Amino acid sequence: MPGTGLGPEDGGRYARPVTDAGDAPTPRYRCTRCGNLTRFDVTSTRRTRSFHHYSVGGELEVEDVEVLDEVIESVECRWCGNGEGVEELPADG
């Protein structure tokens, strides 16, 4: 799909806007080869800002995680192994 941010012709990466993690809907995918809608291996890189809260005993609790940037590098169908024809579905569908 040229120009959609959904494949190798667009640098091999899936576009994802930079937003607060609570505001962005989780993307849905569909395999164009087998029709799978439920099982995918997604490889991504995230840059986050978070509040690290250590207890007096030294135990860490990470709170308020904000996604500053996320790049979905690849999406591969878990059923048939297709990594070239996976498409991102529109948010309303």
Which stretches of the chain score pLDDT less than 70? 1-24, 93
User: What global pTM score does this model have?
Assistant: 0.61
For residues 22 and 67, the answer to whether their CB atoms sit within 8 Å is no
Q: Measure the CA–CA gap between 30 and 40, rounded to whole angstroms.
A: 9
Q: Measure the CA–CA gap between 71 and 66, rounded to whole angstroms.
A: 15
Helix, strand or coil for residue 45? strand
pLDDT recorded at residue 19: 46
